[in-house]
Structures are given as structure tokens and as C-alpha cells.
Chain A
């Protein structure tokens, strides 16, 4: 491998992202703000992690850096030059691997070099070297469909590094793999990185997995949603190779959980403040009532007995933060639980819920839903007032869309429908797309 870069920190900056803002046009003519005032620098020898939940704009930021779309405000400098379209020294690894099924492993890897119009034998030499480096020796003539997920993502990495980029962008590169394979790929990648064998100078990694961020990154930028923004920057100084069982590792994971679930006033928490002090315009995550009951039961039972550490509960239930946080938020909103310092604690109602049988649970849930979820109370009031005791879904959808994107409005309505059905608070007829007070025949 030529031009090996010794991994060392210098003061030169690879990438400088300043005051980035990104909006998307909405159907109603207004704009949806997905990134607000985002700043980021990447130095040689650094792995920077962008950690946040889905919808926090971290993948959007990565696409901006890759030159795949343009920011609405602010600027991105790569080696002192403003980025305008895809830059030569920046390449990307995709979540879904994005290999071309009609090209062999070799052809997939060689594609980037062909685009550079290099001589044939150089393309051949460098492609084979990259395939060799990433541990795919012997698979050159295989087609992607013949490979396992892990092997496919190795091809994805080889394809990205074969062009000798200065910056490697990784968009949740291991999240489509099973736990064991993901772990193997992570450690292999980190080994190559630490040994300085990869022809790259810096990495930006998007992830929603806290452990992965702590294991891989030198610096973690925590994103909040609505709009997407960076709420904190955490240096990870644990020496490599990092061990998950190391107390320092666990403490770092715990700290990030606290950061990501803290209440407002402490400067971070994403959606929690909006959920807690809410009107009918609040976004509601579509969380299954099974998950709500399941989480309450788990926390109420031994060994937690009403109070659980979020990282522990996440690994106990093998839930990613994208799955866990919406449930936690829902529990908070319904006053079934509180979150404090990275711990989830059931309220007396929550404990009572855990001890109840199905019918009693439904009654409790109905009461809490109509008390603490303004949208549910609103729909119920309208249905009570009308002579027909029915109202179209679109009526409420329109109201919600004044405050949020059509997708969020749709998800909010779906959440309300499934909760109200469980609580038997009111009914919904999908064929007629209308709410009513009676159950359909």
C-alpha cells in the first residue's frame, strides 16, 4: 500500500464545517428545518462520531459533507477549499452496502478507479491491494449476492478506501449486520486504522449505537432532533484497543445516556421538553402498547424493582436507542415513569400498572391517555360533542400539519389510533378513515 499515513494528531484541519443549516421544502410551501447551526472539525488521525436518534439530521450532514446535496446556509471546507459537489478525497461507506449486484467484488472495488481514468494495471494493482487489505482475498470474482452481509460491507469499505481518500464517511456502516458480525468488522476496521494501514486520514462515523460510538470514536458529537443540532461534544480518551468491560468504557456509555435523556435546563435533551409541556401539536412517536407494557413489566420486576439504568435495560431488552427512547418518552408523557440521571424510575401509577390485569390496565391507560395526551383528549371531546359521534381523520391531520411535517403528523395520528384502540377510548375505521365513539361492527 502506498502513501501510508502515520496516525498522529496535527493541527492541520481536514474538514471544517461552519454554521451549517439545511431545510427541506414542505408540501405546504413552508420549509422544514433539519439542521441548525452545526459546527464540526475533523483533524488528521481522528475518528469523529455523530451520535443521535433517527431524524436528528446526522445522515443529512454526512451527505452534505460528501457533496451529495447542498446546505441552505453555512459552509463546509475540505483542506481549505469550499465543497461544491462530490470532492475527490472524500468517499463514503453506506448502511445498505449499496454494491452493484451485476458487478463482481473486483469490479465493484475497481469502479472508483475507473472513474479516475487511471491506467489499467494501476487499477488492477490498487484494487487487488484494497481487497487484500480488507480480508477479501479469494473473493475477487464473487458476486455480492454470494456473500454474507459482513463480507458485503467489507467490499463496501474496500471500494471506499481504494481511491485513497483523505476522509472516509461511514453512514451507520454496521447497523444492517448482526451483532457478532458487526463487532468483528468494527475490531478489524479499528486494527487496520490503529496500525495505519488504511490510506485514509480521518473518519466521520454516523451511528445511533452508543457503545459503537464509544468504542470507535475519538470525539462524539451528540445530536438532538427537531431541528437537528449538536447538543454536546464528548472527548473519548480511553486508550485503544477499548474493552467494553472496562469500567471507564461503561462509565462513558452511562454518561452519554444521561446526556441524551437529561431534562431541559441542563442543555441537551432532544424531544423531552416538547413532550412534557405539550399541547395538541406535540409529535407522538408510534410506540406499540406491547412495548409500553413490556418495558413497565421489565422495570417493575427483579432485578430492577422499579428503577433501572437505561444502558442496562437497553442491553437487557437488546433495544437500540431508536427503539428504547420513544418508549421511555411515552412512559414519561403518560406519567408512568420518570427519567433522572440516566435512570428510568416507575411512578406509583407505573408500578400499579405493572401489577394489574389486562382490563384494569386498559382502564388505567385510557384515563392516563385522556388526561396527559392533549390530542387524545381533543379527539374525544370532538367526538362527544358531535351528534354523529364521528369525525374524519383528515380534520385532525390538518390541525397537526400546521405544526409539523406531514410524515410526523401521520405518525402522530397512527400513534393515537393504536393507543386509543388499546385503551378503548375511541374507535377508528380505516376504510372510512374516520374516528368514532363506537366500535365498528
Chain B
């Protein structure tokens, strides 16, 4: 970031500066965007049919704005969920025992399979209004964002240093004050990192959730996703190109305008006292923090916030986050309560599925699941063979890494479903085997997690350790075997775990793809769920989603998690 070398007046003088002007422009721009984007949300649903999505690129900025707004609405919801659910889990040992496993299971539910189940519910919530469809889309994005944020926040709350907690208690801070003054700031840096990851993941699902049909119900919300769906249906390559360009622009924009300032701001909450490396910078953050008017607004906000403490004081203990004494009897009641819910939901699911499905159906889904599993593993293996050496090469060269690392993160954010039609065209033109050639689509968007984690791992190898290798003249395969591969292994596992989970999810969109009238389909659980969705067969949707959740859950428990702990124990550089 270029350093400013001319003079300006500081905040205390009160005279507005050019930073105020820029800050105002940013704020006004944001409000205008909000207004424009949310127009029509409360309109009757028939307006969607009356003014259908157009392929005219002049409408595209408006669509992008709508889509982005959905993303941020979902992000807001995810934050709300994080602050309540994760806090509850961290503060109450009783709730923790059930909330954490639930979160773990929710994480493995395939979101795209989910949309069809929820969309009907949300449409019935706001009958005849666009709002219902909007809610369904936002909910779909929410389910792709919330879980890892909640996990990160829960982890942070559990690891607040004892000294800080004791200091806060010795100052007799109330639970509420402790939460906002100590725990939230402490948890902020990892939470923001996870928000960025969530946001990246969310684009894939927002694109998928805007143009949706369950059986005979078809919903098309104005947005990039609907635009692209229409472009595919009309075989309009130009429109696909516009959408891709618009996506690139919007990812760049929210990174610059939203996440970079956030990261720069949150840097102050890092617990480590010593300064390591250059602190993150952001021009937007600089502008906002140098502006007098923004400072004034912040003071007002802070004053208002201070009042909440008084209000909360009169609230019941549970809301104040004070710990209550808990008795064995209450424990028992809670356990029973959970047990009843579990029994009822298993019963309900069984009753829902049993009359319509046979054992053969269950066998089929598991067989299809095995095909998808094979596909995911082969793809992860191939991606690893490609990206691990490249990642190590890049990570050991800081100059190259500085260029490649943001690029890889950018690629991870790009919704690759925009590129699926290209693959379908290829498969149709050359009459290729869909079972093989549709597969790469599953990992197109998720392989980057392997790359940027390996880059991070390689660049974290201490200089002295690399010097040892040079000094002892360790080269070739011995160098890979003894130094490079072990050093990046924990990072690689994190990346591969994320890529694997993402690929399962993507299989629902990737095992069936189309271009105009051409439909290409592969075998697999993803295709099974998509078929069931198109047919509006809720029994098979639920069966497929449950089966996929089971697969993901079991693979996580039996493979990734043990591997992760093993890597942490043995390979983590102290």
C-alpha cells in the first residue's frame, strides 16, 4: 500500500478531510447498493414470471448485486447463528455434549441436496411472495457458511487463555461484558478467516440455488445463478462469458471492500504480543479509520452500546452468560429430552421412507455412493500428485508465493459451476465417457484448497531447517521424503479434507450437467439425488441425502480425522 506523504488534519481538529469524502462515498454507495438490490423482495411471486431473467448484459450488474446481497444476508445469519449456537455450546457443558456432535453431522450434509427439501418449506412460509424463494436461497447459502464459522468460534471460546479469563473475573466483569470485551475479540481473527472461507464456498451454492426446480415447482430468482442457467438453456456462450467476468469483478470487489478492511482491523485482536511479519493493510480501512465523520459515528455507536450492559443486567441469568449451578436431575432431564427427540425423528424418518422404499432402494443408493466415493478419492489423489509438488515449489519461493497464493484463494472462491457447460459441450462434441469426463468438474473448485494449504505449509518451514538440508546436502527423493513432504503434511491434510468434503457436495451439481438440450449424466450418488430432485421424489431425495451424509461422516471419522490428529501430533513444526 502506498504510504501517504502529504499532510492532513487529524481527527481532533474536526475539519473534514478527503478521507471523509471517500468514506462518505463508500457508505452512500453501500446504501444505494442495498436499496437497489433489495427492491422487489416483497413483491408477489408472479412478478418473477412477469419480468423474467434477461440475457442482456446491462441487467447483469443488477443481478450480481442481488446475488451478493443474498450472500451477505446469509453471512449475517451465519454470524447470528455463530454467536448463539457456538456460545451456548461453549458455555454449557450439558448443551455442549449434544450441540457439538450435531454441528459435526450438519457439516456433512450435502447442501445442494438440502435445497429441494427446504425450498418447499420456505415457499409455504411466505405464500405468493418472492420473499419465500429468497429465504430458501439465503438458507441454502447459510447452510454452506455457518458450520465452520460456528466451529471456529466454539474452539476460540474454549481456548481463551486462563490468565485473561481470570483477569476479567478479578475486574468483576459481568458475563455479558466478558463476552464482548474478551471472548469475541479473542475469537475474531480465526472467525474472520473462516468467514472468508465460507464466503468463497458460498458462491458455488448461491449460483446453484437461484434457478431451481423441484418436481413441477420452478423458481428463478433474479441473480447471476439464474442468468447463467438461462444462458446454458439458450446455449449463449457470450452470456456465459459475461457472467464469468462479472463474477471475477465481484469477488475482487468484496475482497477489497469488505474482507481486507476486516482483516486489517482484526489484526489488533491477535493474542501474540510480538510482531511477526508485516501487519495486513487495506486502503479502505485506512480511509475509514482516518475519517473524522466515521470516528464521530463510532463514538455514538460505542455510547449506545455501553447502554446495553445496563439493560442486560436485568435480564435472566441464561442471557447474561452466567453459569448456573447444574444438578444431576437437570442433567437427566436434558438427556431424556434429547433421547426423545432422537427417537421421534428416527421414527418419523422411518415412517416417511418405509412405505415408499424397498431394501433394494437402499442397496442402490449405497452402491451409487460407492461410485461417487471412488471418484472423490481418485480425484483427490490426482489433484495431490499435481498440486503438492507445485505447492512446495511455490511455497519455498516467497516472491512466487506472494503472487500465486492470493490467486489460488481467488480461484477457490470462483463458482466453478459456471464452467460446467464448457465440459458438457466437449463431452457431447467428442462423444466422451461421461462417467470419466464429468468427474473432474467435482474437484475443479475444491482442488485449490490443496494448493494453497501446501503453499502455506512450505513457506512455514523455518529457514534454519531448510539450511540443514542444504548443509548436509540432502537432495532428490531423500529431500522430499525426509524434509519437504513431512513438513507440509499437516497442511496438506487440512487442504485434502476440505477438498474432499467440497467434492462430495459438488457431485450433486457435477454428475449431471447440461448445455441447451444436451444432458450428460454419470453414475453416482450426486446424480441420484439430482434425478430425484428433478422428479420431485422427496423420498429418494431424503434417502440420497441421508446416505451421502453417512458416507461423508464415516469417511471423516475413519480417515480424515485420525489422519489429522496423527499429522498434528507427529509433523507439526513447534
Q: Mark A residues whose CB is within 8 Å of B.
A: 63, 66-68, 86, 88, 90-92, 94-96, 98, 100-103, 107, 111-112, 114-116, 143, 145, 159, 163, 386, 388, 390-392, 394-395, 397-398, 429, 431-432, 434, 436, 438, 440-441
> Which among A107, A112, A145, A390 is the interface contact of B472 at CB below 8 angstroms?
A112
> Which among B7, B464, B482, B572 is the interface contact of A95 at CB below 8 angstroms?
B464
Q: Give chain A residues whose Cβ lies under 8 Å from the Cβ of B467.
A: 63, 66, 68, 92, 94, 98
- Cα(A392)–Cα(B473), bound, Å: 49
Would you call B471 and A68 a contact (CB within 8 A)? yes
A86-B470, A390-B10, A398-B5 known; A115-B478 Cβ under 8 A = yes
Q: Give chain B residues whose Cβ lies under 8 Å from the Cβ of A394.
A: 3-5
Would you call A68 and B9 a contact (CB within 8 A)? no
Nearest-CB residue, chain A, relative to B482: A111
Would you call B5 and A100 a contact (CB within 8 A)? no
- Cα(A231)–Cα(B141), bound, Å: 67
> Which among B4, B470, B571, B573 is the interface contact of A392 at CB below 8 angstroms?
B4
- Cα(A88)–Cα(B10), bound, Å: 61
Q: Kindly provide the distance from the CB of A334 to the nearest chain B CB, expressed in whole angstroms.
A: 26
Nearest-CB residue, chain A, relative to B483: A100
Q: Kindly provide the distance from the CB of A10 to the nearest chain B CB, expressed in whole angstroms.
A: 26
Would you call B468 and A98 a contact (CB within 8 A)? yes
Q: Kindly provide the distance from the CB of A104 to the nearest chain B CB, expressed in whole angstroms.
A: 11
Would you call A86 and B7 a contact (CB within 8 A)? no
- Cα(A107)–Cα(B464), bound, Å: 18
Would you call A92 and B471 a contact (CB within 8 A)? yes
Would you call A388 and B10 a contact (CB within 8 A)? yes
- Decide yes or no whether B42 CB sits under 8 A from chain A: no
Q: Give chain A residues whose Cβ lies under 8 Å from the Cβ of B245.
A: none
Would you call B4 and A101 a contact (CB within 8 A)? no
* A-B interface, 10 closest residue pairs, ranked by CB to CB distance from nearest: A112-B472, A394-B3, A98-B464, A102-B486, A115-B474, A94-B464, A390-B10, A98-B465, A92-B471, A388-B9
Q: Give chain A residues whose Cβ lies under 8 Å from the Cβ of B482.
A: 100, 103, 107, 111, 114
Further contacts, 19 of them, CB under 8 A, given A102-B487, A111-B474, A388-B9: A66-B467, A86-B470, A91-B472, A94-B467, A94-B468, A98-B468, A101-B570, A107-B482, A111-B482, A115-B475, A115-B478, A143-B570, A159-B472, A397-B3, A398-B3, A429-B10, A432-B10, A432-B290, A436-B12
Would you call A388 and B473 a contact (CB within 8 A)? no
A68-B471, A111-B472 known; A101-B9 Cβ under 8 A = no
Would you call B462 and A98 a contact (CB within 8 A)? yes
- Decide yes or no whether B536 CB sits under 8 A from chain A: no
Kindly identify, within residues 440 to 472 of chain B, every residue whose CB is under 8 Å from any CB belonging to chain A: 462, 464-465, 467-468, 470-472
- Cα(A101)–Cα(B487), bound, Å: 9
- Decide yes or no whether B13 CB sits under 8 A from chain A: yes
- Cα(A239)–Cα(B336), bound, Å: 81
Nearest-CB residue, chain B, relative to A113: B472
Q: Give chain A residues whose Cβ lies under 8 Å from the Cβ of B471.
A: 66-68, 86, 90-92
Majority secondary structure, B binding face: helix
Would you call A102 and B570 a contact (CB within 8 A)? yes
- Per-position contact with A for B120-155: 1 when CB-CB < 8 Å, else 0? 000000000000000000000000000000000000
Would you call B290 and A102 a contact (CB within 8 A)? no
- Cα(A163)–Cα(B474), bound, Å: 12
Would you call A96 and B10 a contact (CB within 8 A)? no
Chain A to chain B contacts (Cβ below 8 Å), 25 pairs: A63-B467, A66-B467, A67-B470, A68-B470, A68-B471, A86-B471, A91-B471, A100-B465, A100-B482, A101-B570, A102-B570, A102-B571, A112-B472, A114-B478, A115-B475, A143-B570, A145-B574, A159-B472, A394-B3, A394-B5, A429-B10, A432-B290, A434-B8, A434-B10, A436-B12
Q: Kindly provide the distance from the CB of A373 to the nearest chain B CB, expressed in whole angstroms.
A: 23
- Cα(A388)–Cα(B14), bound, Å: 11
Q: Kindly provide the distance from the CB of A73 to the nearest chain B CB, expressed in whole angstroms.
A: 22
Nearest-CB residue, chain A, relative to B290: A432
Nearest-CB residue, chain A, relative to B19: A432
Q: Kindly provide the distance from the CB of A359 to the nearest chain B CB, expressed in whole angstroms.
A: 25
Q: Mark B residues whose CB is within 8 Å of A.
A: 3-13, 289-290, 462, 464-465, 467-468, 470-475, 478, 482-483, 486-487, 489, 570-574
Q: Give chain B residues whose Cβ lies under 8 Å from the Cβ of A67.
A: 470-471
Most chain B beta-carbon neighbours within 10 Å: one of A90, A100, A116: A100
Most chain B beta-carbon neighbours within 10 Å: one of A88, A163, A388, A440: A388
- Cα(A95)–Cα(B487), bound, Å: 20
Q: Kindly provide the distance from the CB of A159 to the nearest chain B CB, expressed in whole angstroms.
A: 8
- Cα(A107)–Cα(B478), bound, Å: 12
Q: Give chain A residues whose Cβ lies under 8 Å from the Cβ of B473.
A: 86, 88, 112, 115-116
A111-B482, A115-B478 known; A101-B7 Cβ under 8 A = no
> Which among A96, A101, A115, A390 is the interface contact of B464 at CB below 8 angstroms?
A96
Would you call A438 and B290 a contact (CB within 8 A)? no
Q: Give chain B residues whose Cβ lies under 8 Å from the Cβ of A111.
A: 468, 472, 474, 482
Would you call B474 and A395 a contact (CB within 8 A)? no
- Cα(A386)–Cα(B462), bound, Å: 47
- Cα(A5)–Cα(B464), bound, Å: 29
Q: Give chain A residues whose Cβ lies under 8 Å from the Cβ of B464.
A: 94-96, 98
Nearest-CB residue, chain B, relative to A397: B3
Q: Give chain B residues whose Cβ lies under 8 Å from the Cβ of A438.
A: 12
> Which among B8, B472, B572 is the interface contact of A101 at CB below 8 angstroms?
B572
- Cα(A386)–Cα(B574), bound, Å: 50
Nearest-CB residue, chain B, relative to A97: B464
Q: Give chain B residues whose Cβ lies under 8 Å from the Cβ of A86.
A: 470-471, 473
A68-B470, A92-B471, A111-B482 known; A101-B12 Cβ under 8 A = no
Q: Give chain B residues whose Cβ lies under 8 Å from the Cβ of A107.
A: 482
- Cα(A279)–Cα(B429), bound, Å: 76
A101-B574, A102-B570 known; A440-B12 Cβ under 8 A = yes
Nearest-CB residue, chain A, relative to B289: A431
Q: Kindly provide the distance from the CB of A404 to the nearest chain B CB, expressed in whole angstroms.
A: 17
- Cα(A123)–Cα(B486), bound, Å: 22
Would you call B570 and A436 a contact (CB within 8 A)? no
